Structure 1
Amino acid sequence: MNAWLWCANVLLAGGLGPAAWLGMRGDPVRRLVGLELGGVVATLLLLVFPQALGQPSYLIVPLVMALLTFVGTLVFTRLLAPRPAGT
């Protein structure tokens, strides 16, 4: 087992667990932080796996995911915004 796969295991155990915990508990702002943390950890995992497997062509997936995670956060934040009365 090479160092890249060890790094992926550490990210999986140490990153996705706390992200899921934050995403399921607390107020909407805390859940948003969990969503962001989960997106970052998942993107890092998708960057580590191609290095471990020696397939640099798979690096396009985490780059697209980073953009989609950012857009998803903007949509989620928009839904959290307080709405004016009467709308």
Structure 2
Amino acid sequence: MNGWEIATLALMVGGVAPALVLVARGGPVDRLIGLELGASVTTLTLLVAIQGDGQSSYLIVPLVLVLLSFAGTLVYTRLLGPKP
């Protein structure tokens, strides 16, 4: 195991696990925070894994994830808002 794999594992355990707990067990606002935390940590995890792998052509995946997570947050926030 090299340093990049250890950093990827640390991000997954230290960041994705708490985000999943927030999404699964929290209230609506906590779930939104868990969604944002999960998207951020997953993006960072992918970036670290790509850096360790040395394949810069895979960088499109985290970039698309950032855009999709932003759109998902907007939709989730819209659903949390007051009903007309």
Higher Cα Rg, which structure: 1
| Corresponding residue for residue 60 of structure 1 | 60
Aligned residues: 84
Between Structure 1 and Structure 2, the one with more helix by share is 2
* Counterpart residue identity of residue 67, structure 2: L
What percent identity do the matched residue pairs reach?
60
Paired with 1:67 and 1:3, the residues of 2 have a C-alpha distance of 28
Displacement of 1:7 after TM fit?
Answer: 0.7
After TM superposition, the score normalised by the length of structure 2 is: 0.95
| Corresponding residue for residue 7 of structure 1 | 7
**1:33-44 pair list within 5 angstroms:** 33-44=33-44
Q: Could you list the runs of 5+ residues in structure 2 that have no partner in the other structure?
A: none
Displacement of 1:26 after TM fit?
Answer: 2.2
| Corresponding residue for residue 30 of structure 1 | 30
Paired with 2:2 and 2:26, the residues of 1 have a C-alpha distance of 38
